[in-house]
């Protein structure tokens, strides 16, 4: 029997599944997508809404929210508010920006604009507008809905310093961003303002940077330093400009008096008055004010509130009002000029303060004090009140009217010149120029007739003849006087000899018959005896006149001779 063949072993095939390399790319992509999704979700912050008046320059999906040029979010959508009054911008913020989203954060759109004298947002011309955020360093409550600013804030960084409130009657040329100066240095910025109670005043928010805020004391003074100050003095025309920015945008300056440097520092949001000028700020240090009023004769053009009041050329006050009113008692119009006097401007005036304003004013008026209008500026015609002393002023009494001292007035210097000129012109107008002209004309006619008359011609002819005869006589006299003049020296010598002999004769007479000579003494005795004789003869003649027979019978009543 044949042997059966040996069975051959059978092969077993096992199939193994292999992953294709092509699946690596989707796997990696999926991993990256998952990582990106996780990374995006992990960094994804809250969704916030910001309201603006318009969405100018913003684009959904492109415009960013930035802080210091660092992207913190992207605009997700822009929608119109239900009442159509504004737009609502939804922005998806990063997780890192979550802590910045408080109720003190501020948002605004950065675009090219000129504000506060600076050109900002110029870079957005190429990159497009974006939303800027300014967080606050102070803690606040978390918020997701914000009201955006239409204009960027003046301070776009958290600068250390303090804000002070300045009360003013009007803003004037101040603007947000106007500089604040301290001794010529730019140390702060005007943040803005708001209206006071019933719009009677304006509160200006003034920010002073550190460390300059430590120079603001409770006694510091703020004044408006806007524009240009032009003054005309003895040194010529003086132009005062705080800075070019102050001219364009306005400005504020402040200072502290030297004697107030040790006073307490001002706290944040402390209120100060904002004075209109440096002069007004300096005047605020005087606490005592005396109200006065004056009634000037004539016009007061050129006199306005704020005009200075001077005495002996030194300012001691200012004009507060110039009004026109009707006086019922006098039935006429009058102009009361009210002004204030600051006695503390007068050194060593403490003794005067004890007497009181009325008594002091009366003493000065008794010495001739009068209020007078004077020209303060020849170019502008501005006038001031000058208190002058007139020794020839009539007596006057100071009275009180509505709490103000009534100061007597005197005509101004220019007014006095005008009155004198008017009086002179009035005299000239009353002169009889027509009569004077007629008399002068008649006189000239008479002179003309006399000059052309025949009598004058005959007189001139006779005078000519007389002069010719006189000339001939003088010539003859000259010829006859020649020999006499030749003998004049001999005559002079004879006269000299005669004078010499006369002098000798007088000396001899003085010696022989002078006061000490014997002849003079004998003559003196003779004169005395002659005087006695004359007295005896006078007595005899008187007796004979009374008793003619006295020579025969003697004196009556006596013995007969």
> Which pTM does this prediction carry?
0.53
- φ, ψ for residue 44 (rounded to 5)? -70, 130
Confidence at residue 551, expressed as pLDDT on a 0 to 100 scale: 57
Which residue in 289, 321, 298 sits closest to 372, CA to CA? 298
The yes-or-no verdict on residue 560 having pLDDT over 80 is no
pLDDT of residue 433: 73
Question: Which pLDDT belongs to residue 392?
Answer: 86
Instruction: Give dist(CA 64, CA 75) in Å, integer.
Output: 6
Q: Confidence class of residue 390 from pLDDT cuts 50, 70 and 90?
A: confident
pLDDT at 233 over 50: no
**DSSP letter, residue 142:** B
- CA–CA gap between residue 127 and residue 253 (Å, rounded): 39
- pLDDT band at residue 234, thresholds of 50, 70 and 90? very low
The answer to whether residue 88 scores a pLDDT higher than 90 is yes
Q: Which two tokens stand for residue 439?
A: 């008399």
Q: Is the pLDDT of residue 462 over 70?
A: yes
- Backbone dihedral angles phi then psi of residue 149, each to the nearest 5 degrees: -90, 140
Given a contact cutoff of 8 angstroms between Cβ atoms, the answer to whether 180 and 254 are in contact is: yes
Residue 53 neighbours by CB under 8 Å, 6+ apart = 86, 87, 150
- Can you list the alpha helix ranges (DSSP code H) found in 430-453? 433-451
Per domain, the residue ranges of the chain are: 24-147, 161-283, 290-422, 443-481, 518-552
Does the pLDDT value for residue 418 go beyond 70? no
Mean pLDDT of the chain: 78
User: Which residue do the tokens 């006098």 mark?
Assistant: 330
Q: Are 299 and 325 in contact (CB under 8 A)?
A: no
Q: Given a cut of 70, is residue 13 above it in pLDDT?
A: no
Residue 235 has pLDDT above 50, yes or no: no
pLDDT band with cut points at 50, 70 and 90 for residue 415: low
Phi, psi (rounded to 5 degrees) for 168: -135, 155
User: Of 13-17, 100-104, 378-382, 512-516, where does the model show the most confidence?
Assistant: 100-104
Q: Once rounded to an integer, what is the mean pLDDT over residues 349-370?
A: 84
Whether residue 559 has pLDDT greater than 50: no
* Tens of pLDDT, residues 141-168: 888 999 998 888 877 677 889 999 998 8
**Separation of alpha carbons 204 and 250, rounded Å:** 13
Range name among 81-85, 464-468, 494-498 with the lowest pLDDT average: 494-498
The string of pLDDT tens digits covering residues 443-453 is 777 777 767 77
Question: What is the bridge-based pairing of β-strands 179-182 and 252-255?
Answer: parallel
What is the mean pLDDT of the segment spanning 286-301? Answer: 85
Nearest partner of 125 among 110, 135, 114, 115, judged by Cα: 110
Q: Using pLDDT thresholds of 50, 70 and 90, give the confidence band for residue 90.
A: very high
Distance CA 101, CA 8 (A): 84
**How deeply is 213 buried, as exposed, middle or buried, from its count of CB atoms within 10 A (0-12, 13-18, 19+)?**
buried
pLDDT band at 501 (very low <50, low <70, confident <90, very high): low
């Amino acid at each position: 029997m044949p042997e059966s063949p040996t069975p051959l072993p059978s092969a077993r095939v096992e199939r193994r599944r292999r992953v294709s390399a092509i699946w690596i790319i989707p796997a990696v992509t999926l991993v990256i997508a998952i990582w990106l999704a996780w990374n995006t979700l992990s960094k994804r912050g809250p969704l916030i809404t910001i309201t603006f008046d318009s969405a100018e320059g913003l684009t959904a999906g492109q415009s960013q929210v930035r802080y210091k040029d660092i992207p913190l979010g992207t605009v997700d959508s822009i929608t119109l508010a239900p009442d159509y009054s504004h737009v609502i911008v939804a922005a998806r913020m990063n997780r890192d920006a979550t802590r910045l989203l408080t109720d003190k954060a501020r948002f605004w759109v950065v675009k090219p604009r000129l504000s506060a004298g600076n050109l900002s947002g110029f870079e957005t011309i190429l990159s497009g507008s974006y939303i800027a955020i300014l967080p606050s360093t102070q803690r606040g409550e978390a918020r997701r809905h914000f009201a955006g600013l239409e204009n960027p804030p003046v301070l776009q960084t958290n600068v250390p310093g303090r804000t002070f409130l300045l009360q003013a009657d009007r803003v004037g040329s101040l603007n947000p961003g106007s500089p604040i100066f301290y001794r010529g240095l730019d140390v702060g910025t005007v943040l803005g303002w708001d209206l006071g109670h019933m719009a009677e005043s304006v509160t200006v928010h003034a920010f002073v940077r550190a460390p300059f805020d430590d120079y603001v004391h409770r006694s510091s003074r703020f004044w408006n330093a806007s524009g240009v100050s032009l003054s005309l003095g003895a040194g010529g025309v003086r132009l005062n400009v705080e800075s070019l920015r102050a001219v364009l945008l306005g400005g504020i300056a402040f200072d502290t008096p030297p004697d107030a440097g040790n006073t307490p520092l001002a706290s944040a949001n402390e209120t100060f008055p904002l004075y209109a000028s440096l002069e007004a700020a300096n005047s605020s240090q005087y606490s005592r004010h005396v109200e006065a009023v004056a009634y000037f004769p004539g016009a007061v053009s050129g006199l306005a509130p704020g005009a200075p009041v001077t005495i002996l050329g030194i300012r001691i006050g200012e004009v507060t009002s110039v009004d026109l009113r009707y006086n019922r008692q006098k039935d006429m119009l009058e102009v009361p000029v009210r002004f204030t006097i600051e006695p503390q401007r007068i050194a060593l005036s403490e003794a005067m303060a004890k007497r009181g304003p009325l008594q002091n004013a009366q003493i000065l008026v008794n010495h001739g004090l009068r209020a007078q209008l004077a020209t303060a500026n020849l170019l502008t015609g501005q006038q001031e009140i000058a208190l002058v002393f007139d020794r020839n002023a009539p007596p006057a009494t100071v009275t009180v009217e509505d709490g103000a001292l009534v100061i007597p007035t005197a005509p101004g210097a220019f007014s006095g010149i005008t009155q004198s000129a008017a009086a002179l012109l009035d005299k000239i107008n009353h002169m009889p120029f027509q009569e004077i002209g007629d008399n002068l004309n008649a006189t000239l006619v008479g002179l003309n007739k006399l000059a052309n008359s025949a009598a004058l011609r005959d007189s001139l002819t006779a005078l000519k003849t007389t002069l010719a005869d006189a000339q001939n006589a003088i010539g003859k006299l000259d010829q006859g006087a020649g020999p006499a003049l030749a003998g004049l020296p001999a005559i002079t010598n004879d006269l000299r000899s005669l004078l010499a002999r006369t002098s000798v004769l007088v000396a001899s007479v003085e010696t022989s018959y002078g006061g000490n000579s014997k002849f003079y003494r004998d003559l003196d005795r003779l004169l005395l005896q002659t005087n006695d004789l004359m007295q005896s003869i006078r007595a005899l003649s008187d007796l004979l006149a009374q008793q003619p027979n006295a020579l025969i019978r003697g004196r009556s009543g006596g013995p007969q001779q």
